[in-house]
Amino acid sequence: MAFAGKRILISGAGSGIGRVAARALADQGAEVILVGRREGALRETLAGARIAALDHADEASVTTFAQACPPLDGMLLCAGQLLTGSVESTPVEAFDRMIAANLRGPWLLCHHLGPKLKDGASVVLMGSNIGLRAIPDSAAYSVSKAGLHMLAKVLALEWAHRKIRCNAIAPGPIHTDMVDARLAASANPARDLSDLAKVNPLKRLGRPEEASALALHLLSDESAWTTGTIIPLDGGADAVY
């Protein structure tokens, strides 16, 4: 029970990586607080857990929530969205949506909940390997995730005097609703799925359990000397030129 007595907030806990991690943390003794927009999805993750149904990019909602939030031992910020398109083909509204969902939201949670973090807490941000390396057709998402990676580094510096750590994970494609939605919009889902798997040396998509396992390591005291780093989790794609 590595997380017995620890209170951890998980955003994006209503599906995908956040849901798997929330259940794993609860299994290991954590008291979890689940954040996402859909209350029903959060309840489905863990009936009986404390939930906060809110849009993390809405400052009024985050402020109200933060005022009532008890002290935290950690945060795993998974909430995010994906829109595809190049710089030229992406309307500014879509760009704004990517920045809101992937950067403004985590920023606001860290801004308002930073004072609630206990000394020695750990914060994990879910970035993306395409926030590290450019690929065609995901411009606004990639830019927003690159900003999120820098947020992890900045917070690692700012919180170090309180022994609070902050790291980001940069996953390649993980088979969740996010990938399924992208495939559903494709003219050739089978080819796109195979293409996604081909780009990494291990030739497969990641599993949400694999992202959750790394997140739990970073949230736990096992990683007590790791802060301000961005860890690729991508079947080796980051190693390939």
Ligand X SMILES: NC(=O)c1ccc[n+]([C@@H]2O[C@H](COP(=O)([O-])OP(=O)(O)OC[C@H]3O[C@@H](n4cnc5c(N)ncnc54)[C@H](OP(=O)(O)O)[C@@H]3O)[C@@H](O)[C@H]2O)c1
* 39 vs 118, beta carbon nearer ligand X: 39
> To the nearest whole angstrom, how small is the minimum distance from the Cβ of residue 200 to ligand X?
12
Q: Output the CA–CA distances (angstroms, integers) from residue 69 to 9, 59, 66, 72, 116, in the order listed.
A: 10, 15, 5, 8, 7
Angstrom distance (rounded) from CA 148 to CA 105: 10
Which of 7, 10, 12, 123 contacts ligand X by CB under 6 A?
Answer: 12
Paired with 138 in beta bridges are: 85
The SS3 call for residue 119 is strand
Candidates 9, 22, 33, 79: give the one binding ligand X (CB under 6 A): 79
Number of residues that bind ligand X (CB under 6 A): 30
User: Quick one: angle between helices 59-68 and 105-113, nearest 10?
Assistant: 30
Residues 155-194 as x/- pattern, contact with ligand X by CB under 6 A: ----------------x-xx-xxxx---------------
We find the least distance from the C-beta atom of residue 38 to ligand X, in angstroms, to be 3
How many CB atoms are closer than 10 A to CB 43?
15
Tell me how far, at minimum, the Cβ of 120 lies from ligand X, in Å.
25
Q: Is residue 147 within the footprint of ligand X (CB under 6 A)?
A: no
CA–CA distance, 74 with 21 (Å, rounded to integer) = 13
200 belongs to the binding site for ligand X (CB under 6 A): no
Interface with ligand X, residue 149, by CB under 6 A: no
Q: Which is nearer to ligand X, 98 or 121 (CB)?
A: 98
CB of 2 to ligand X, least distance (A): 22
First to last CA, the chain: 41
Q: How many CB atoms lie within 10 A of CB 41?
A: 19
- The residues of the shown chain that bind ligand X, judged by CB under 6 A, are 11-12, 14-18, 36-38, 41, 55-57, 78-82, 101, 105, 126, 128, 171, 173-174, 176-179
